[in-house]
Amino acid sequence: MPQQTTEDSPISGRAPQSTGYRRLFALPGARTFTTGNLLARLPIGMLSVSAVVMIAGSRGSYALAGAVTATGLAATGVAGPWLARLVDRHGQARIALPATVVAVLGSLALLLCVRYDAPDWTLFAAYAGTAATPNIGGLSRARWAHLLRDEPGALHTANAFEQAADELCFMLGPVLASFLTGTFFPEAGTLTAAALLLAGMLLFTAQRATEPPPTARSLAPSPLRSPGIAPLLACFVATGAVFGSMEVVTIAYADGQGHRAAAGAVLALQAAGSCAAGLAYGALKPARVRLGHCLAGMALLMILPWLAAGLTGSLWALAAALLVAGMATAPTMVTAMTLVQKHTPADRLNEGMSLMVTGLLTGIACGSAMGGWAAEHLSPASAYAVPPAAATVALGVASLTRAGGVRGTP
């Protein structure tokens, strides 16, 4: 049965318990499955960077490297919801672990194809295998939703922690990948990412006591048919465009300033701002925050990098603006994901969250294309108008649909 979806009704009549982070990790098994999840999640931020460095270094073509990683991204978007449906039906351990093995073999196949100068088409085929990587953050969020199903306040805190963990991994992953590939050998990043992914998933799936029970045959409708999910999906696509365009435009801007190597550090500040805001958002437990409020804040704060780039021309000023602008990301994503959990039938929760990840990836790909076009045909500074424009689209969708009128926190 679907969870309650009205904006004022509590999920349970039971009074919520303490919702601090200490409360979360006092739950039996929580620390162990979180450790495994973080180990497995870190490679998500490493794989694409490692693949680009490895392929470009061997074949001398960033275009080929970008095309290969884009293929993997597209394949992940297609495979993700199907894989999540299997997880809901058969359980996390039975599906996620074998899928992880397939993804690891795909990474190793890519490494061997690059190492032994196989034809270009083999790179695409090998990297497509990484699409079997489970939605690791979604698996962890599903466990929290199961453990805290009667405590909406604590679930809000757990979702905030998971978003902060996402930002931390996307902040540290590229840095670790760059260090490994530059310090040791080009394949070091891919090897390390594959090892961490497998080890983390082994530890995570071994914690069977916290795993949500599978549902052999769900009688619930597809998450896409659940009220409120379609507009939320549209919001995720538009929000992904914010992230994708910001990344490409920042790289182009730093390159134009003669500091392309600093682009990663500058973007890491945006992730750091989001990570800090996510932890604070979960700890403070603001009452009755609407998704529209968060998206409005994001649309306003995303103007700061545009102003910093256009008015100052300083990479340092841009870095400070990105740090502040990033603080809008985590509250928006936490609120949106909380709504997904409320609107999605409980026995199809992994599928619902995976659909949102697919929407986010689609938006990132579209945003990257729009940001790249604007940076090339206008200027990198002018291209910073794309992220606030995309955030405004997300706000418009939320305001004109049910997504804008539903509160994301208890």
Q: Is 277 part of a structural domain of the chain?
A: yes
Domain boundary among 190, 217, 244: 217
Structure-block tokens of residue 360: 């986010």
Domain boundary among 184, 217, 250: 217
Whether 84 and 124 map to the same domain: the answer is yes
Q: Is 302 part of a structural domain of the chain?
A: yes
How much is the mean pLDDT over the chain?
83
Confidence band of 400 (pLDDT split at 50, 70, 90): confident
CA distance 57 to 36: 32
Does 9 score more than 70 pLDDT? no
Structure-block tokens of residue 206: 């071994």
Whether 208 and 232 map to the same domain: the answer is no
pLDDT at 394: 93
Proportion of the chain above pLDDT 90, given as a percent: 29
Q: Is 285 left (phi over 0), alpha (psi -120 to 50) or beta?
A: left
Whether 280 and 367 map to the same domain: the answer is yes
Pick from 24, 344, 34: nearest CA to 153? 24
Q: Is 6 part of a structural domain of the chain?
A: no
Pick from 139, 171, 137: nearest CA to 49? 171
pLDDT at 197: 95
Q: What average pLDDT score do residues 308-336 get?
A: 90
CATH number for position 141: 1.20.1250.20
Confidence band of 193 (pLDDT split at 50, 70, 90): very high
| pLDDT per residue as tens digits for the range 251-296 | 788 878 877 667 777 888 888 888 888 888 887 765 566 888 899 9
Q: Is 336 part of a structural domain of the chain?
A: yes
pLDDT at 100: 96
Whether 51 and 184 map to the same domain: the answer is yes
Q: Give DSSP secondary structure letters for 108-158.
A: HHHHHHHHTT--HHHHHHHHHGGGG---HHHHHHHHHHHHTTT-HHHHHHH
Segments forming the whole domain that contains residue 360: 220-410
Q: Is 287 left (phi over 0), alpha (psi -120 to 50) or beta?
A: beta
The total number of structural domains that make up the chain = 2
CA distance 340 to 353: 7
Q: What average pLDDT score do residues 4-15 get?
A: 34
Q: What average pLDDT score do residues 294-312 get?
A: 93
Whether 238 and 387 map to the same domain: the answer is yes
Domain boundary among 217, 244, 274: 217
pLDDT at 1: 36
Q: What average pLDDT score do residues 385-409 get?
A: 78
Q: Is 183 part of a structural domain of the chain?
A: yes
Structure-block tokens of residue 260: 């392309």
Confidence band of 361 (pLDDT split at 50, 70, 90): confident
* Most confident stretch, 20-24, 194-198, 260-264, 361-365: 194-198
User: Which residues does 272 contact at the CB level (< 8 Å), separation at least 6?
Assistant: 167, 171, 323, 326
pLDDT at 221: 62
Whether 68 and 114 map to the same domain: the answer is yes
Whether 249 and 378 map to the same domain: the answer is yes
Q: Is 14 part of a structural domain of the chain?
A: no
Whether 196 and 318 map to the same domain: the answer is no
Whether 271 and 405 map to the same domain: the answer is yes
Confidence band of 248 (pLDDT split at 50, 70, 90): confident
Q: What average pLDDT score do residues 102-128 get?
A: 94
Whether 56 and 194 map to the same domain: the answer is yes
Task: Please give the residue that has the higher pLDDT: either 98 or 330.
Answer: 98
* Rounded-to-5 percentages of helix, strand, coil across the chain: 80, 0, 20
Task: Please give the residue that has the higher pLDDT: either 40 or 366.
Answer: 40
Q: Is 21 part of a structural domain of the chain?
A: no
Proportion of the chain above pLDDT 70, given as a percent: 89
Whether 409 and 287 map to the same domain: the answer is yes
Q: Give DSSP secondary structure letters for 294-331.
A: HHHHHHHHTHHHHHHHHHT--HHHHHHHHHHHGGGHHH
Q: What average pLDDT score do residues 183-203 get?
A: 92
Structure-block tokens of residue 396: 């418009």
Confidence band of 321 (pLDDT split at 50, 70, 90): very high
Poorest-confidence range of 67-71, 172-176, 216-220, 281-285?
A: 216-220
* Residue 366 CB coordination number (10 Å): 17
Whether 88 and 227 map to the same domain: the answer is no
| pLDDT per residue as tens digits for the range 141-164 | 889 988 988 888 888 888 888 888
Does 7 score more than 60 pLDDT? no
Q: Is 22 part of a structural domain of the chain?
A: no
Q: What average pLDDT score do residues 363-392 get?
A: 87
